Structure 1
Amino acid sequence: MSNLPQFDAARAVQIAQQALQIEAAALTGLGPRLGEAFAAAVQAVLACSGRVAVMGMGKSGHVGRKIAATLSSTGTPALFVHPAEASHGDLGMVTQQDVVLALSNSGESDELNAVLPVLKRLGVVIIAMTGRAESSLARHASIVLDSAVAEEACPLNLAPTASTTAQMALGDALAVALLDARGFRAEDFARSHPGGALGRKLLTHVHDLMRSGEALPRVSPATPFTEMMREMSAKGLGVAIVVDAEDRVQGIFTDGDLRRLVEKGQDLRALSAGEVMHANPRTMRADALAADAASLMEAARITLVLVVDAGQQLLGAISINDLMRAKVI
């Protein structure tokens, strides 16, 4: 038989709301404390020719891993070094060219404090992120970032909750300040995230996805309607591209155009490609971003764009299905 007290739904919601209010207050309190020390930390990292070695034990260690990952993805090479493993060889991962970012709310983590004297002898800049300015960690540090909170969100004021939220937010603040100082751009972010949606949008160009060569359904303006339809069916793009003798785009004929002609009851066999095509179809350059092709299709309510060079010669075609397969949209 369970010894758990009877569940009180209203109290659960109340406790959760209090936790969020406490954590929000902790974050609000960080802002006014950012000043010379924070600017010095940013300058120290910018001047670093190596990496940022992030250290922390327990919950601070978990936050430290996330901070290291955020720094690395925003233009500041970083790694996480576990303080306990550092005492058994992993401290060799830290060099004189590095900066150490050490996290401890109490500033008295035994495993972390054990390696601080060695780091000082090595000559590395130590940036402390701690809730106690008089702690051992703060005394060993070159720069101290104050992450103190008035109380934890835990009703017992024991479990690291508001304090780890403050550490996480302060780490994010450091990362974005560095990102801005480096002139880091969306394109730079994409290069470190080639498998992500943003990476695909910013790194994938039209020439990477377009159909070209024999895959394109080309016809001349004089091509009979029935022959044009055979070319459309054979290439499976749902269009016929009308080009002149120099392969310059003259127009396009689509499946939708065919349906409209059938509805009108015209004698299709007597028509030529030039008589039924739409002149001046939508085109773009091969070096354009595939995401731009998606935007053009959405704005024009079309499913395919022709790719041409500066002289309007046909280079390829890109369809909405190509973009979907590449996960650009």
Structure 2
Amino acid sequence: MQEITKKNSRVWSRLGQRGTVCGVALLEILESMENAYVLTADLGHTSGLDRVMQKFPQRFINVGISEQNLVGTAAGLALDGGVAFATTFATFLTMRSYEQIRHNAGYQEANVKLIGTSAGFAIGMFGNTHYSYEDIALMRVIPNMVVVSPADATEAYLAIHQAAVYQGPVYIRLSDGLNTAIVHSESYAFEIGKAELLNQGKDIAIIAVGGVVHEAINAVEKLQALGINPTLINMHTIKPLDEAMLYELRDYRALITVEEHSIIGGLGSAVAEYMMGISHTTQLFRIGIQDKFVHPGEQGYVKSSNGLDAEGIYAYVKRVAESFGSDA
């Protein structure tokens, strides 16, 4: 086993049994913050928290398969002056304990930091009962809640650290599995609420989030070979949106959002809600899950069968550009 260090943790997988970016970041936080706690609903090992359990047994709590208690206990610790990280599968975290998240974290503005693992289709063959493609919608409608969906392990590492010092509740959505693509270098400067410009183009902008950002990067490379050069933005924070970045796109002909999530209530909806107030000419398109339950399979299969892989994004944007008769 390769030695786990702060440096290589940022490019390791964000989920798994050991050396995960979640486990490394949370261990560092507990080492530096005496009022920090880590809680899980029977997924400590799966979330890479073995070393957290071993080094800080008094500040690590496994509530068992009891997500409502997970959030309620975290909120209690936070309201007593602590910073409480609660982690489990995204679908169970956001759905089973929704009332506790709304009342105990959101309403109380508590320093509860929710980390939803295996979001989107990362859980593979477990199917729709374990998929979470509604969680962004559920979380962003709660007042005071910040919603972040990192694109890779480096961004996840930085988001977890920033959440620790952010005042108020935060939901961090980790949507890839063991072989997370590398999008960012070690020098990447992440900031909650500030989107990342990955490519400056014209006329058409792709706004992507989470585990499909690397798919969008590959799609843009293929489009550029055809002379189509869209702007590409990593909108890692869905709430609060980077409205300043979106304002710069007000004269674009088209915005295309890409998310491993339902097109209802997610990134696409958030962008549309803002843009309708500042632009009456920009067309909006959403690549994501339609109003349906998906056919289950491994993550790559579900993404490709719903147009969320590089080839699907490339084909969609190409059709939009050709419909304008523009080289974008």
TM-score normalised by the chain length of structure 1: 0.26
Which of the two has higher C-alpha Rg?
1
Structure with bigger RCO (C-alpha 8 Å, 6+ apart): 2
Higher helix share: 1
